Structure 1
Amino acid sequence: MRIVAILSILILIGCSNESKIERIDGSEIEKEQLTEKIKSLMESADVNGLAVSILNNNESVYQKTYGYSNWSTKDTLNNNSIFYGASLSKAVFAVLVMQLVEEGKINLDTPLQNYLDKPLSEYEFNRDWRGYDDLKDDKRYECITARMCLSHTTGLPNWRFLTKSGFDINGKLHFRHEPGTRYSYSGEGISLLQFVVEKITGKGLEAIAQEKIFQPLEMKRTSYIYVQQEKFKNQYVYGNDKNQKMIPFDEADEAGAAGTLCTTLADYSKFIEALLKYKLISKHSFDEMFNKQVSINSKQQFGPNALVETSENEDIGLGYGLGWGLLETPYGFGAFKEGHSEGFQHYSIVFPEKQMGMVILSNSDNGESIFMELLEIGIGDTYTPWEWENYIPYNNNP
């Protein structure tokens, strides 16, 4: 009888633990409580759809979706619904580059020009806004390295067509800062590194990513080519604006390391798990990727405040590694990556020393307005710099 009683207690303890999520500060939250809180937040902030994954001990212990993949038809989201991942693309690409570093195919500190057969500015592209002819008289491009591209210190703008006066398809590529001197988020820098990686390997990005990451991890619904495939019919997610109006599906038929990834909650969670378990890169490469390359002193990441210096985030040691943002907490460092585009707002953060993390995918332009509270209640993350990220809470009073 005594043995039976002990076993019963152990079973009850096990069931109890399975119903809870551990946070980075050691506190816990019931899964049902989190679920109800998420529903309440979504309703209050008019968020159409949300997908959330939480990791404890480097394993997903909570994966749930809420709301709709298609607001007009009221198709519900599920763990295999295919989201446009936006800049989550960069986090995956950073891991891919670190794999190539391990293989000796690229060096983080060798100028990218050294891998090319002719000057970068002389290469021709099938899209005018992709080429580097604008830099032919500015030889600073010759010193750009893979490390600069991944740490966003190339000095290049985010995108040449996002000019001070607004969108301009004829915008010129230029240096905003001296290469290697300061953090300035740049999709152009990531695209440059992609171009060189494809030249080095002789393969396109999609083929390399499938070979090295997606297929080994059985991420069957993840791709850098964001076009609707018949086999995944009705599994694609549609974005919604702040007024809950659905945005037309926007396909990307050319793989882009800076922002064409499509993925699911289940697939991206596999990627995060594998990364934290050193299944994709070695511990040495992992440490290098999450080693702070540059401190960030800007008031915000984008917009006019990106040029305003501040000490507001010194307490969390805000900075950037290779492909991931970094922050410091009493519980170890956090590594984060966002995704943001019209109708899609995502955030992921991992705390490797606590073996924890959280992935948030949203197909609503109101999604970011609940990120601060969602991170706090979900994993006890009160360190993500929501003002710097412009994750203004829906109930924030100016």
Structure 2
Amino acid sequence: MAPVLLAAALALPSAAVARPKDAAIDAYVAQAMAKAGSQGLALAVIDDGRVAYVKTYGKRNAQGDPLTPDTVMYGASLTKAVFAWTVLQMVDDGLLDLDRPIAEYLPRPLPEYVGQANRYSAWDTLSDERWRKITPRILLTHSGGFANFYWLEPDRKLHIHFDPGSRYAYSGDGLMLLQFAIEQGLGLDLGLEMQRRVFDRYGMKTSSVIWRPDFATNLADGWDKDGKPEPHDQRGKVRAAGSLDTTINDFARFSAAVASGEGLSPKMRAEFAKAQLPITTATQFPPLQDELPPAARKKGLAAGLGVVTFEGPQGRGFFKGGHNDVTGNTWACVDKTRDCVVLLSNDVRSETVYADLVRFILGDAGAPYDWEYGDQAGK
């Protein structure tokens, strides 16, 4: 650790402990940001299912405008968790069944949807009949068999690399396929559903999965790993894999709702954070890496629905990240105590101190950042 990162993390707590005082959090964040070279960071703490602390640090753009709790920041793949929460509400309402194949929802076979690549994925390039076995649960657990996105394939076509449901391999295209099934099979607009079921319900007034012009008045640009600034991308299409714009105030509200279970039946809330499928790889990326032998796998690490679950000193927890070249987000929760930490950053370099920050605030929860970030965890 760097010049002590606040005296060896102020003797980092090793198990469930009382939340650090606000001033101690601020001091720790300041040293962590200095260590990472981070220009902007937003933080929220959820204590027993309630928003306990929200604070922003640093700048939202290269002009030096301050990052505020209402600054619009890119949610990146945190979108996937919000999408999963939306889907589980649909299950509660009887609109979807987690284990019914998507083929039974679609009006025609998936490969017949020609020309959808610009909005969804290259469904018309898929000839593997195993797609008919794919269910919403399989897609929410990243076990559809796809690469992250079809355009990362050498031939830029969609392929199924293993039997659907048999192993975890992170896939944005999998979430996009579930969006496609919902919109084509149920005749629903996912953007409107997420607005109604999540953003309106939880008072998230400055969140959307499609660009809104009013976001421009208080918008976070970003910094890449070399410290180069980059403007915020205006995402004009709803994408379940990652088009969320939000604020730390708003995502804190969502996190509190999830921690307390507000908005889902007890059964569906349990499914959300349940260990659905063991994770068998050394790291999250690259997604299609070889599986480890059973004895070498991280014990207790599994796919939840839209999140990753883990077993730690404080019991079951779950977390989700969000990343692009200038964005580094993380959200980690302990189920039993209903405690969470949300970290949104418009500087990707912040990710190097997230493991320390989460542990300082939550105690030793066991969030597996070595698996999430690989060699970059804690550097």
Q: TM-score normalised to the size of structure 1?
A: 0.87
Mapped to 2, the partners of 1:289 and 1:30 lie a distance apart of: 30
User: Retained in 1: the 8 A contact 2:260–2:338?
Assistant: no
Q: What residue in structure 2 maps to residue 32 of structure 1?
A: 23
* Deviation, structure 1 residue 260: 0.5
* Deviation, structure 1 residue 290: 1.6
DSSP-derived class of the 1:234 partner: helix
1:241-260 correspondence runs (5 A): 241-260=224-243
Q: What residue in structure 2 maps to residue 5 of structure 1?
A: none
User: Retained in 1: the 8 A contact 2:225–2:325?
Assistant: no
Mapped to 1, the partners of 2:153 and 2:122 lie a distance apart of: 17
User: Retained in 1: the 8 A contact 2:139–2:175?
Assistant: yes
* Deviation, structure 1 residue 302: 0.5
Residue of 184, 188, 196 corresponding to 1:211: 196
Mapped to 2, the partners of 1:214 and 1:60 lie a distance apart of: 16
Q: What residue in structure 1 maps to residue 33 of structure 2?
A: 42
Mapped to 2, the partners of 1:49 and 1:319 lie a distance apart of: 31
* Deviation, structure 1 residue 124: 3.2
User: Retained in 1: the 8 A contact 2:313–2:365?
Assistant: no
Q: What residue in structure 2 maps to residue 356 of structure 1?
A: 339
Asked if residue 60 in structure 1 is aligned to residue 51 in structure 2, the reply is yes
- The one-letter code sitting in structure 2 at the alignment partner of 1:143 is K
Mapped to 2, the partners of 1:305 and 1:174 lie a distance apart of: 12
Asked if residue 309 in structure 1 is aligned to residue 292 in structure 2, the reply is yes
- The one-letter code sitting in structure 2 at the alignment partner of 1:146 is P
Q: What residue in structure 2 maps to residue 372 of structure 1?
A: 355
Give structure 2 stretches of 5+ with no counterpart.
1-12
Residue of 98, 101, 114 corresponding to 2:91: 101
User: Retained in 2: the 8 A contact 1:53–1:359?
Assistant: yes
DSSP-derived class of the 2:94 partner: coil
Mapped to 2, the partners of 1:327 and 1:148 lie a distance apart of: 19
User: Retained in 1: the 8 A contact 2:369–2:377?
Assistant: no
- The one-letter code sitting in structure 2 at the alignment partner of 1:223 is S
- The one-letter code sitting in structure 2 at the alignment partner of 1:314 is K
Q: What residue in structure 2 maps to residue 15 of structure 1?
A: none
- The one-letter code sitting in structure 1 at the alignment partner of 2:220 is V
Mapped to 2, the partners of 1:382 and 1:106 lie a distance apart of: 33
- Relative to structure 2, which stretch is displaced further, 303-312 or 149-158? 303-312
* Deviation, structure 1 residue 392: 4.8
Q: What residue in structure 1 maps to residue 7 of structure 2?
A: none
Give structure 1 stretches of 5+ with no counterpart.
1-21, 165-169
* Deviation, structure 1 residue 382: 5.0
* Deviation, structure 1 residue 105: 0.9
- CA distance 1:23–1:94, change in 2 (3 Å): farther
Q: Deviations over 1:278-304 (max 9, x none)?
A: 221111110112221110121111128
User: Retained in 1: the 8 A contact 2:355–2:377?
Assistant: no
- Alpha-carbon RMSD across the aligned residues, in angstroms, is 2.0
Q: What residue in structure 1 maps to residue 184 of structure 2?
A: 199
Mapped to 1, the partners of 2:250 and 2:375 lie a distance apart of: 28
User: Retained in 2: the 8 A contact 1:299–1:305?
Assistant: no
Q: TM-score normalised to the size of structure 2?
A: 0.91
Q: Deviations over 1:280-332 (max 9, x none)?
A: 111111011222111012111112883251545534x0001111100012322
* Deviation, structure 1 residue 30: 2.0
Q: What residue in structure 1 maps to residue 3 of structure 2?
A: none
Q: What residue in structure 1 maps to residue 10 of structure 2?
A: none
* Deviation, structure 1 residue 82: 0.7
DSSP-derived class of the 2:184 partner: helix
DSSP-derived class of the 1:29 partner: coil
Identity of aligned residues (%): 33
Residue of 244, 269, 275 corresponding to 1:261: 244
User: Retained in 1: the 8 A contact 2:147–2:287?
Assistant: no
User: Retained in 2: the 8 A contact 1:313–1:385?
Assistant: no
* Deviation, structure 1 residue 157: 1.0
Mapped to 2, the partners of 1:30 and 1:312 lie a distance apart of: 38
1:1-398 correspondence runs (5 A): 25-70=16-61, 72-128=62-118, 130-135=121-126, 137-163=127-153, 171-225=156-210, 227=211, 229=213, 231-303=214-286, 306-309=289-292, 311-312=295-296, 314-315=298-299, 317-390=300-373, 392=375, 396=379
The number of residue pairs the alignment matches comes to: 365
Mapped to 1, the partners of 2:15 and 2:67 lie a distance apart of: 28
Mapped to 1, the partners of 2:251 and 2:102 lie a distance apart of: 29
- CA distance 1:370–1:198, change in 2 (3 Å): same
- CA distance 1:392–1:60, change in 2 (3 Å): farther
* Deviation, structure 1 residue 378: 1.4
DSSP-derived class of the 2:46 partner: strand
* Deviation, structure 1 residue 393: 5.6
Higher alpha-carbon Rg: 1
